[in-house]
């Protein structure tokens, strides 16, 4: 019988719409600059090769259907940004997955937020240092319930949006992804062996910006459960 020096942390999980079981989270992969207009607003252009960063599984904050999740305004920053994203939930792992075969590895989809300490990220970029401190901090990955892939509709042509305090901030379409979901899975699985429980935050469209304490964020992807998050 295995014993531990202290009690292991509980499994991080996300609810699955209409089902009793939950989706246990293994890793969180995020795709950088994956909408052209967002790349431009960040000072870049063109279809660059995809690149990835990770967040810890316990960065997850679940925004239950019909409820408002709360995230704290994080430490060390004065420029907290929202990034609305389509999230892909992996149900079958694999390495070197072809784009043509990617769909069979997808369990479902959800709406997520990649919250970013932009000032810290920018400062690390200027110094040529890793910018985990800007992205991979506590409670930086709000997510809504997962919808099974077969029930998600035409997810690859779905409108995606975010409002802050009822006003539009981000509004685009998943079809505008530079690297679509299948291509992203192909590239990602060349670098890591994907596992059941992995989440892929696929990138954010243009319109990212700052939020402050007291702001309420409402975001969605057509066909999925929207999320509501308040900054405490």
What is the Cβ-side half-sphere exposure of residue 81, based on CA atoms within 13 angstroms?
Answer: 21
In this structure, what token pair is assigned to residue 221? 């992807």
Residue 5: strand, helix, or coil: coil
SS3 percent helix, strand, coil of the chain, rounded to 5, is 20, 35, 45
State the Cα–Cα distance between residues 115 and 223, nearest whole angstrom.
22
Burial status of residue 93 (CB atoms within 10 A of its CB: 0-12, 13-18, 19 or more): middle
End-to-end CA distance of the chain: 43
pLDDT at 46 over 70: no
pLDDT tens-place string over residues 101-131: 999 999 999 999 999 999 999 999 999 999 9
Distance of CA 167 to the CA centre of its chain: 21
pLDDT tens-place string over residues 145-172: 999 999 999 999 999 999 999 999 999 9
State the Cα–Cα distance between residues 115 and 66, nearest whole angstrom.
21
pLDDT, position 163: 98
Residue 150: strand, helix, or coil: helix
pLDDT, position 73: 98
Asked if 57 contacts 138 with a C-beta cutoff of 8 angstroms, the reply is no
pLDDT, position 165: 98
Percent of all residues in the chain with a pLDDT value above 90, rounded to a whole number: 93
pLDDT, position 39: 74
Average pLDDT of the segment spanning 8-30 = 97
pLDDT, position 211: 98
pLDDT tens-place string over residues 51-102: 999 999 999 999 999 999 999 999 999 999 999 999 999 999 999 999 999 9
pLDDT, position 208: 96
pLDDT, position 124: 98
**pTM metric for this prediction:** 0.96
């Amino acid at each position: 019988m295995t014993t531990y020096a202290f009690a292991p942390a509980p499994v991080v999980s996300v609810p699955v719409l209409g089902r009793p079981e939950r989706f246990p989270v293994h890793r969180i992969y995020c795709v950088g600059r994956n909408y052209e207009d967002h790349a431009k607003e960040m000072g870049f252009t063109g279809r660059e090769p995809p690149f990835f960063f990770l967040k810890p599984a316990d960065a997850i904050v679940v925004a239950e259907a019909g409820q408002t999740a709360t995230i704290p305004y994080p430490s060390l920053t004065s420029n907290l940004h929202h990034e609305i994203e389509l999230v892909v939930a992996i149900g079958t792992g694999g390495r070197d997955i072809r784009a043509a075969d990617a769909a069979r590895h997808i369990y479902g989809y959800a709406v997520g937020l990649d919250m970013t300490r932009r000032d810290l990220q920018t400062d690390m970029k200027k110094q040529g240092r890793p910018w985990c401190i800007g992205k991979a901090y506590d409670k930086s990955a709000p997510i809504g319930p997962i919808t099974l892939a077969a029930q998600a509709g035409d997810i690859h042509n779905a409108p995606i949006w975010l409002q802050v305090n009822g006003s539009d901030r981000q509004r685009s379409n998943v079809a505008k992804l530079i690297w679509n979901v299948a291509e992203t899975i192909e590239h990602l699985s060349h670098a890591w062996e994907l596992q059941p429980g992995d989440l892929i935050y696929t990138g954010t469209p243009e319109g990212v910006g700052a939020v402050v304490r007291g702001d309420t964020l409402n975001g969605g992807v057509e066909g999925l459960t929207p999320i509501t998050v308040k900054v405490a």
